[in-house]
Each structure stands twice: as C-alpha cells, then as structure tokens.
C-alpha cells in the first residue's frame, strides 16, 4: 500500500526533536520512534491533558498513516516509561504523576573505583563460616543455629581505603561459596558472575563511623559515612546480605 519507511535502528525511546519530518501530522509518522516523538510533543504542549484519555491505537494509526502495530509499539514504550497508562478496554491515558525511575548500575565496587580513574584493590579481612546475628539470619531465612559464610573485606582506591564490606552468604543457597577463596576475585564479583539473576532490596543511609570502621577507613570515629545495606535474592531464597560503609566523601550518583 505504501512503501515501508526508513528504519531508524535500535534507538530507544527518548529523542524528542527527531523524525517529525513535516509540520502537518498525517504526512509521515511511519516509524515507532516518530510516533513516540509526536505523542510526547502533544503531551508536552498540552494538546493532550494530563490524566486525560488519548485517541485509540486505531485512530492514531489512521491519522499518522501507519499500522496499528507501529502505534502499539510506540505507546507500549511510553507506558513502560511511565508516561502513559493503558488498560484494556478503557483506553490510554496520560499519567498524572509520571513515576520517574532512577536506574543504578549495581555498584560492583571495582567499577566505582575504576570509573574515577583510580586503581582498584581489595583485602579480605576475614572469611569463615559462622553463626550470623539474629537480624542477618532472619534476612537470609536461616534456621536458628545454622551457619553462613561471613566475609569482611576492604576495598581500596589507589591504596587508600574506599569501602568496608561486611557480607554474609547463605551456604544453603550457594554451597559453592564455601570452598572458594575470595582474595583474587571479590565476593561481589564472584556472586555476580555465578548467580545470574537476582532481585533484592537496597537501603541507603547516613551513619556515624564506629571506632572499628573509622580505624579501617582511616577517619575519626563518629565521622558521617554513607552506608549501603543490600539483600540479594534468587527467587524466594536470600543469597547474601551486605553492609558496605564507604569512606567519608563518597557520593552515589544515579541517573533518572
């Protein structure tokens, strides 16, 4: 019916000021990225009200002169972004408060250090199986009296202390960890490499360095330090619980 337009390659959603070839809509929005751009523009310009319903896929396809499939791809992308909200028979609405998402590449500490142009190093301070404190046992879902692998290590940035890591690994979930030596590869990286998929929770807070932490990190006791607590799960079973205390001055960067 109409020769297929030029593909735009594997670009992701963004890129607003693009692809809207003509001023008049209806003359050529034949790629899904162009549809994304046009829909985005209409919302930004207030042509479509926040919270309001927008035309159906079929109507938009007719207006833009492309297939419903293409419109579907575009609207789905915007829905994934949290900009639109779609329900089956109810239609598509512009979300009131777009739920922004910040994404962190999960901090493999080595990368944090190397990204700053420093040389990474790490020492294992302690590595042995022992009975974890109650709070940790609860997080790992262990029975009372069960042991877990306890590894404490210090991450270095050009020989200066960078972060102090206190980790418990569930031997029930990851038996192989018991027989691994973590002085060459850090526990973090070993886990990331050997336990493919995981979910979990991260808690971030500010705390005062304890005397021991201060000694390890080379600062005064009581200095404000950035603390990250993380629980990692594979399916239902918790794999590891980590508490990382960063040396003073650390700043975590996220991108929305």
Partner DNA sequence: GCGGCGAATATGTTTACACATAATGACGTT
Partner DNA sequence: AACGTCATTATGTGTAAACATATTCGCCGC
Contacts with its own copies by CB under 8 A lie at: 10, 16-17, 40, 43-44, 50, 83, 86, 88, 96-106, 108, 189, 192-193, 196-208, 224-227, 232, 235, 248-256
Pairing type for strands 91-94 and 148-157 reads unpaired
Cβ neighbours for 152, distance < 8 A, ≥ 6 positions apart: 124, 125, 126, 127, 164, 165, 166, 167
Distance separating alpha carbons of residues 185 and 206, to the nearest angstrom: 28
Question: Can you tell me which of 18, 41, 63, 76 binds DNA, judged by CB under 7 A?
Answer: 76
Question: Can you tell me which of 24, 88, 100, 254 binds DNA, judged by CB under 7 A?
Answer: 88
Smallest gap from residue 53 Cβ to DNA (A): 8
Name the burial class of residue 163, with classes exposed (0-12), middle (13-18) and buried (19+) by CB atoms within 10 angstroms of its CB.
buried
Q: Which is nearer to its own copies, 168 or 226 (CB)?
A: 226
Nearest to 190 by CA among 172, 177, 201: 177
Q: Which is nearer to DNA, 40 or 153 (CB)?
A: 40
The answer to whether 32 and 46 are in contact (CB under 8 A) is: no
| Binding to DNA in span 44-63, by CB under 7 A | 56-58
| 117 is a site residue for DNA (CB under 7 A) | no
Residue 145 contacts which entry, its own copies, DNA, none (Cβ below 5-8 A, type-dependent): none
Q: Which is nearer to its own copies, 45 or 181 (CB)?
A: 45
Question: Can you tell me which of 42, 86, 95, 243 binds DNA, judged by CB under 7 A?
Answer: 86
Nearest to 35 by CA among 53, 51, 52, 11: 11
């Amino acid at each position: 019916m109409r020769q297929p337009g030029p593909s735009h390659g594997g670009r992701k959603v963004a890129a607003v000021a693009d692809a809207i070839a003509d001023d008049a809509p209806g003359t050529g929005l034949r790629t899904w990225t162009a549809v994304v751009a046009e829909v985005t523009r209409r919302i930004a310009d207030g042509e479509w009200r926040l919270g309001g319903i927008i035309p159906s896929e079929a109507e938009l396809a007719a207006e833009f002169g492309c297939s419903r499939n293409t419109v579907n791809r575009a609207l789905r992308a915007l829905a994934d972004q949290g900009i639109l909200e779609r329900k089956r028979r109810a239609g598509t609405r512009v979300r009131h408060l777009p739920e922004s998402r910040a994404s962190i590449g999960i901090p493999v500490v080595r990368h944090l250090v190397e990204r700053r142009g420093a040389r990474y190093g790490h020492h294992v301070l302690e590595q042995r199986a022992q009975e974890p404190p109650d709070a940790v046992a609860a997080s790992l879902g262990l029975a009372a009296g069960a042991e877990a692998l306890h590894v404490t290590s210090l991450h270095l940035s050009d020989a200066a202390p960078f972060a102090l890591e206190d980790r418990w690994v569930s031997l029930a979930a990851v038996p192989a960890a018991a027989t691994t030596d973590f002085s060459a590869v850090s526990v973090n990286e070993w886990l990331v490499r050997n336990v493919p998929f995981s979910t979990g929770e991260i808690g971030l807070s500010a705390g005062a360095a304890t005397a021991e932490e201060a000694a390890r990190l080379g600062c005064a006791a009581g200095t404000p330090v950035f603390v990250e607590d993380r629980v990692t799960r594979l399916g239902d079973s918790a794999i590891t619980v980590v508490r990382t205390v960063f040396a003073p001055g650390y700043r975590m960067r996220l991108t929305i």
